[in-house]
Amino acid sequence: MVKIFSGSAHPQLSLRVTKLLRLPLSIAHITHFDNSEVKVTIKEEVKNQVCFIIQPTCNPTDTHLMELFFFCDALRRQEAKKVIGIIPYFGYARQDIQHQPGECVSVNVIIRFLETIGFDKIYTVDLHDEATEGVFSIPFKNLTALPLLADAVKKYLFDKKLVKPGNLIESIAITSPDQGGIERTRKFSLHFFKHEKGSFSLSLMKKKRTLAIAHQSETLDLYGEVKNKIVIIVDDIITSGTTLINAANLCLKKGAKKVIAAVVHHDLSPKAPSLIQNSPIELIFTTDSIPFKNNDQLIKFKEISLSTILAEEIKHVK
Ligand code: R5P
């Protein structure tokens, strides 16, 4: 039998997974001290057991990371057979190169920590850049929620009678809001159009980041045809909302009928919910890799659970 533990980042997601697996959530105490230190205490027998810890390393990123590290240490000390981390949202993944001279490469440091502390394997979902996989020297699997999101968007469009099966390629433009997202957009599109006849083309936007100012970017141009089409913008993460909102505005300026988005992780900054609410984006399909902070944020979001794909992976681990 496997044991599944939950960090404090997203117990609801952990419970969704254990419910599908018909397993109890294993017991641990997480203490948050007033000086911001954390402590993890395992409260059940784990000797020779395969143990999973589900913990997205979302905001507060560093606290959630420390919990994850301490879970692994505590389980190792109790002689667990294997310790496997499920990190549905991998914080720091965007800091994967030196964007400017003098910068740290934070994701590299996090990976070194995960390996050194003693994880046997790490799972994540739609890592910012697939190339980061090569930095791991322990087994690592990057799962994808893009098919789940593509199915959900398609169902919404059919239910609302906005498109008909058979004419998706003519009515829909799937677009990446930046150069780095083109492969992700292609994968989403392959699934989205899989029952359609004919070949599809993608559109792409040129985005420029203002490196000196956090969360600032400009959408400079759009390559591809969006006129009179429903546009689906595909991205991995939304934080300030700037990328998505600028992209949506440009699509509408170029004649798009409406804009919907499919974004795997909503790692929202404080101002993002109201910016999104007041933006022309109709709806953002996302996952429960990160919990929403309050119900207001749900107004323009439609959340699809990752629990099915996480449970499926756990089932196959011995
Ligand atoms: C960038 O490369 C990512 O894929 C996202 O487009 C970006 O991080 C989104 O951030 P924001 O919502 O702050 O523009």
pLDDT in tens, 167-185: 999 999 999 999 999 999 9
Residue 139 sits in the same domain as residue 153: no
**CA distance linking residue 18 with residue 5, whole number of Å:** 9
What was the pLDDT predicted at 185? 97
For the CA atoms of 53, 57, 61, 64, the dihedral, rounded to the nearest 10 degrees, stands at: -10
- 168 or 295, which is more confident: 168
Note whether residue 303 is domain-resident. Answer: no
First-last CA distance in the chain: 8
* Ligand 1 midpoint to CA 217 (Å): 9
42 lines ligand 1 (CB under 6 A): no
Note whether residue 217 is domain-resident. Answer: yes
Tokens of 179: 């150069």
With cut-offs at 50, 70 and 90, classify the pLDDT of residue 213: confident
Residue 21 sits in the same domain as residue 74: yes
Residue 40 sits in the same domain as residue 125: yes
Listed in sequence order, the residues at least 6 apart from 232 whose beta carbon sits closer than 8 Å to its beta carbon are: 153, 172, 173, 174, 175, 188, 192, 259, 260, 261, 262
Nearest to 50 by CA among 89, 110, 5: 5
| Percent of the chain predicted with pLDDT > 90 | 85
* Ligand 1 midpoint to CA 243 (Å): 6
Residue 178 sits in the same domain as residue 106: no
Residue 153 sits in the same domain as residue 269: yes
Residue 111 sits in the same domain as residue 129: yes
Residue 127 sits in the same domain as residue 191: no
217 lines ligand 1 (CB under 6 A): yes
Burial (CB < 10 A; 0-12, 13-18, 19+), residue 8, is middle
Give the closest residue (by CA) to ligand 1 atom 8: 237
What was the pLDDT predicted at 297? 64
Give the closest residue (by CA) to ligand 1 atom 2: 180
What was the pLDDT predicted at 295? 61
Q: Answer whether residue 153 shows pLDDT above 70.
A: yes
Report the number of distinct structural domains present in the chain. 2
What was the pLDDT predicted at 10? 98
- 165 or 68, which is more confident: 68
Residue 258 a catalytic site member? no
Residue 86 sits in the same domain as residue 205: no
Query: What is the position in ligand 1's atom list of the atom closest to the CA of 236?
Result: 4
Domain assignment of residue 273, given as a range:
146-288
**CA distance linking residue 235 with residue 262, whole number of Å:** 6
| Percent of the chain predicted with pLDDT > 70 | 98
306 lines ligand 1 (CB under 6 A): no
What was the pLDDT predicted at 214? 76
267 lines ligand 1 (CB under 6 A): no
- 298 or 230, which is more confident: 230
What was the pLDDT predicted at 298? 66
Residue 129 sits in the same domain as residue 163: no
Give the CATH number of the domain where residue 267 resides.
Answer: 3.40.50.2020
Q: Using an 8 Å Cβ cutoff, are 217 and 210 in contact?
A: yes
Residue 156 sits in the same domain as residue 206: yes
Q: Work out the mean pLDDT of the chain and round it to a whole number.
A: 94
- Backbone phi, psi, residue 117, to 5°: -70, -25
Residue 107 sits in the same domain as residue 180: no
Note whether residue 55 is domain-resident. Answer: yes
* Residue 114, amino acid: L
Note whether residue 238 is domain-resident. Answer: yes
Note whether residue 20 is domain-resident. Answer: yes
Query: How confident is the model over 54-111, as pLDDT tens digits?
Result: 999 999 999 999 999 999 999 999 999 999 999 999 999 999 999 889 999 999 999 9
* Ligand 1 midpoint to CA 153 (Å): 20
Query: What is the position in ligand 1's atom list of the atom closest to the CA of 239?
Result: 12
Note whether residue 102 is domain-resident. Answer: yes
Q: Answer whether residue 236 shows pLDDT above 80.
A: yes
Question: Ligand 1 pocket test: which of 237, 240, 267 has the largest number of ligand atoms within 8 Å of its C-beta?
Answer: 237
Residue 191 sits in the same domain as residue 133: no
185 lines ligand 1 (CB under 6 A): no
Query: How confident is the model over 184-210, as pLDDT tens digits?
Result: 999 999 999 999 998 888 999 888 877
Note whether residue 299 is domain-resident. Answer: no
Q: Among 3, 121, 154, 207, which one carries the catalytic annotation?
A: 207
Region 241-253 average pLDDT: 95
Q: Answer whether residue 221 shows pLDDT above 90.
A: no
Note whether residue 298 is domain-resident. Answer: no
